[in-house]
Structure 1
């Protein structure tokens, strides 16, 4: 009986619908990673590391808006929606590439 209870608790914890959205942020013009970019998703904020990498927990069955911001760059807002099954695929949550325009770039105007 105790084993069944532990199994049930582990099963419920694994079905919380949370996944990690991770990726890299790059400068559009130079293709170089950008460090210290603020990444905000539903009031949770993190920063990219020296390789431009970030990772955050997201609810896999809800749409989310990713907001990227760093001084010297045009802010960027990206809307992500779950697929037809109501979840993000594992592939769509891993190692995304996001590009930001330098404020002095021709594309940021």
Structure 2
């Protein structure tokens, strides 16, 4: 009987999600950018008026984050979950992802 409960707990825990979130800012102005298309492993969302985005992702899954906005260079960010299979609260919460304008010296040309 105990093994049945352990099996159910393992199945349920493998299906749980982890909240992944961050902020997108303009490199030159250090201001948040709204309406940035954010694709995280096929989960598509958009930044709000303060540059914030979030998505629920499967635990233990590496992330490829694609950020796109007109007049800005495409940006790819790679993230791995921590040892518990989650994205720590520090993941991108207080850190910013910066986008470069296409005409910037730092953009991919």
TM-score by length of 2: 0.78
Which residue in 2 is equivalent to 1:5?
Answer: none
Q: Does 1:32 align with 2:36?
A: no
Q: Residues 20 and 93 of structure 1 are in contact (CA less than 8 Å); yes or no, is this contact kept in structure 2?
A: no
Secondary structure at 2:22's aligned position in 1?
strand
Deviation of 1:95 after TM superposition, in Å, equals: 4.4
> When you count helix as a share of all residues, which structure comes out higher?
1
Q: Deviations over 1:28-52 (max 9, x none)?
A: 1110111110000122111111111
Gaps of 5+ in 2: 1-7
Structural mapping, 1:1-109, within 5 Å: 15=13, 16-92=15-91, 94-108=93-107, 109=109
Gaps of 5+ in 1: 1-8
Aligned residues: 101
Deviation of 1:81 after TM superposition, in Å, equals: 1.2
TM-score by length of 1: 0.78
Deviation of 1:12 after TM superposition, in Å, equals: 7.4
Superposed CA RMSD:
2.5
Which residue in 1 is equivalent to 2:4?
Answer: none
